[in-house]
Amino acid sequence: MSVFFDITHTTHYRYAQPITLGVHKVLFRPRDSHDLRVLATDLQVSPAPVNIRLIQDAYSNSVALIQPQSPASELKIVCSFSVEHTGTRALDFPLSPRAQTFPFDYDAEEQLVLAHYLTPYYDDPDGQLLAWANQFTVGQDVIGTRELLVTMTQFIRDTMQYQARFDEGVQTPFDTLRMQSGTCRDFATLMIEAVRRLGYAARFVSGYLYSPGLDSGTDIASSPGSTHAWLQVYLPGAGWIPFDPTNNLVGGNNLIRVGVARHASLASPVSGSWNGSIEDYLGMEVDVQVRKIIP
């Protein structure tokens, strides 16, 4: 059954005095597929941009390259879109026979295409990440390929504390393990690095989460007022399956994907440059509104 959403994502940079703005990259358009259809989009920029170019990047993400007019003392980017989401019944998709139990091997073509999603982003000289990942592979004669991922997703949600952090960037998986806390992008990064060491191909996903708690302001774990992050794991026979360790979600129709990359730093919703004194930067405000629409 289809679910319809309206999303408005506002990013507002403020400066103490007019500065020179460089090109800004905006992950603008959700990723269409069999389960997600984009119905309408709109992009508003203030001050009015000199030009906007729409491209696809190396990950096939839809990107807007914006050159704002400057000098300016602020930059405001408002992305709005409507989508239809039919949901991902990830737990029902059958896997290829060769991939039903852990460990399994990707075939030669899959290994070629998935190479940058199989390769860990962080070095693990002391084997700390591998040891953490291996705890999910012991004590069972037969381990289901998908069941291992479901268990890890729930374990992160149950044992680690969500801690909002509005600074840009992502903490290392080692910091997440040490502090037992983090943001959605930190939890996604930890799980990506862990499952890659077990032989899974995994990628970072940036997008939005709808939760009924967003409407009432009670759902702290879903990080209302910001973007959301999770991961996808490629399972032969089922394809790219979403796992959200922040909210213990596997599939469903509440995760609205926009950008994918091999690491969180490569899927920022908005990134760009400016020239001026560091004291001129007054801060950035982000507001995200996700609303379910009743047709």
pLDDT value at position 216?
A: 52
Beta bridge partners of 56: 62
pLDDT value at position 220?
A: 44
| CATH code assigned to 97-266 | 3.10.620.30
Rounded to whole angstroms, what are the CA distances from 160 to 105, 136, 245?
A: 31, 16, 10
pLDDT value at position 272?
A: 93
Task: Give CA–CA dist 208/204, Å, rounded.
Answer: 13
* Number of Cα atoms under 13 Å in the Cβ half of residue 195: 31
pLDDT tens digits, one per residue of 162-199: 998 877 789 999 999 999 999 999 999 999 999 999 99
Q: In which band, very low, low, confident or very high, does the pLDDT at 72 lie, cut at 50, 70 and 90?
A: very high
Task: Give CA–CA dist 82/64, Å, rounded.
Answer: 17
Where does the chain hold its CATH 3.10.620.30 domain(s)?
A: 97-266
Query: 3-85+269-293 adopts what CATH topology?
Result: Immunoglobulin-like (2.60.40)
Average pLDDT (229-251) is 96
pLDDT tens digits, one per residue of 3-51: 999 999 999 999 999 999 999 999 988 999 989 999 999 999 999 888 9
- Write the burial class of residue 270 (CB in 10 Å: 0-12 exposed, 13-18 middle, 19+ buried): buried
Burial annotation 53-84 (CB, 10 A radius, 16+ → b, else e):
eeeeeebebbbbbbbbebebbebbbebebbbb
Where does the chain hold its CATH 2.60.40.2250 domain(s)?
A: 3-85+269-293
pLDDT value at position 47?
A: 93
Average pLDDT (54-60) is 95
